[in-house]
Amino acid sequence: MKMELIQPFINAADAVLAQGLKSPMSMGHLTMEEEAYRRKGVAALVWLTGDIEGRIIFDLDPKTATKVASGFAGMELPESEELVREAVCELANQVIGNAVVSLNDQGFHFRIHPPALHNAEQGTKSSEDTEALVICFETATGAMFMNIALRYNQKLEKEQALGVRAAN
Amino acid sequence: MEQFAPVKRSKDGQPVRYLIVDDSVFARKNLARIVETFGGQIAGEAGDGLTAITEYDRTHPDIVLMDITMPQMEGIEAAEKIVQQHPDARIVMVSSVGYQENIVAALQRGARHFVQKPVKPEVLYEVIKYVLGEDATVASAAGAGA
């Protein structure tokens, strides 16, 4: 997976979390995940289709999700399962939406599908061409994990390669 | 949460009525809280584009705040259908997917403005005043934050 695909998501997460939490955060460890994805807290999954395809999972512990939700609401909100689920999905939506704006500026076009809760304890194993990168963001209230498995659309890549050959 | 000088309808001095459309309950509640700080009133809510059309017909709001990425029918298509039926409808797209193509498509199909998520209340406040134009007055409010 190329860094040019990842960096917009890191930048967007940084910007959206900073506005939501209104406190400093830092990027922790960054790992490639070869085994199947294991959920750590409350997770939302978003699929992308188009020039770039794959999925992104946002995974937060409930306390951090409540803090982010309170930051977006501009008031302290009580922790509840529903609030946490909604906050994680909306956070995923906002981070991915902002990242897509940046990727679109680079000429990539794709569709974001609405976020869905990722309830399974364990996800599918990543493959060679859709290896997952896990980024940990450390905040004052806890960690947020962003698990990214994206690749260039192979059909488009083939078409472009054929187009180049035909042109030559 | 910061309070703003209330925006009222010019014709009758009543609060501006909003229809809020977003598939996230959390996002709808947040937007509702924000527009209430503008002195607004929630006329209705919808979680997808199809419901937004029927809710518009039922409530006839002054402003629609419409998300883009939603199940069943996306926001831009719903905005187009509402404007076809109600050419005076004032629809503001509120989405995190604020790239140029989407903004242009939304404006071409009838939306009046676009606000990027995460929503900054002071930005939305200015957009609402701009979109309502002469149909709104800003009441003087001592100690208001804007």
Higher pLDDT, A107 or B76: B76
Task: Check if the beta carbon of residue A16 is closer than 8 Å to that of residue A93.
Answer: no
HSE-up of B136 (CA within 13 Å, CB side)?
24
Of B29, B97, B118, the CB nearest to A100: B97
Q: What is the predicted pLDDT for the residue at A1?
A: 62
Q: Distance (Å, rounded) from C-alpha A48 to C-alpha A108?
A: 12
Return the pLDDT at A163. Answer: 64
Q: What is the predicted pLDDT for the residue at B143?
A: 45
- To the nearest whole number, what is the mean pLDDT of chain A? 81
Instruction: Judge: B24–A72 Cβ closer than 8 Å, yes or no.
Output: no
pLDDT at B106 over 90: yes
Mean pLDDT of B65-81: 93
Top pLDDT among A127 and B135 is at: B135
Chain A stretch 92-151, residues whose beta carbon is closer than 8 A to a beta carbon of chain B: 93-98, 100-101, 104-105, 109, 112-114
User: Alpha helix (H) ranges present in B1-146?
Assistant: 25-36, 49-59, 75-85, 100-108, 121-132
**Chain A residue nearest residue B3, CA to CA:** A74
pLDDT band at residue B146 using 50, 70 and 90 as cut-offs: very low
Shortest distance, CA B40 to any CA of chain A (angstroms): 17
What per-residue confidence (pLDDT) applies to B18?
98
**Higher-confidence position of A70 and B87:** B87
Q: For residue A43, is pLDDT > 70? A: yes
Mean pLDDT across chain B = 92
Report the pLDDT value the prediction gives residue B144, as an integer from 0 to 100: 46
Q: Do A90 and B99 touch (CB under 8 A)?
A: no
Domains of chain A from N-terminus onward: 3-167 (3.40.1550.10)
DSSP one-letter code for B134 = G
pLDDT surpassing 50 at residue B145: no
Residue A164: per-residue pLDDT: 56
**pLDDT at A18 exceeding the cut of 90:** no
The pLDDT tens digits of the residues spanning B17-69 come to 999 999 999 999 999 999 999 999 999 999 999 999 999 999 999 999 999 98
Domains of chain B: 7-138 (3.40.50.2300)
What's the confidence (pLDDT) of residue A165? 57
Tell me if residue A54 falls in helix, strand or coil.
strand
Chain A hits for B49, Cβ within 8 Å: none
pLDDT value at A129 more than 60? no
Stretch (H or E) spanning A49: strand A42-50
Q: What's the DSSP call for residue A158?
A: H
What does the block give as tokens for A112? Answer: 């974001």
Residues of A in contact with B116 (CB under 8 A): 98, 101
| Range with top average pLDDT, A12-16, A151-155, B34-38, B71-75 | B34-38
| 3-class state of residue A91 by DSSP | helix
A114: pLDDT confidence band, cut at 50, 70 and 90? confident
Asked if the Cβ–Cβ distance from A16 to B97 is below 8 Å, we say no
Tell me which range, A93-107, A109-123, B23-37, is most confidently predicted by mean pLDDT: B23-37
Residue of A82, A93, A113 with shortest CB distance to B96: A93
> Residues A50, A135, A54, CA angle at the centre, nearest 5°?
20
Q: Over the stretch B124-143, which tens digit does the pLDDT of each residue have?
A: 999 999 999 999 999 875 44
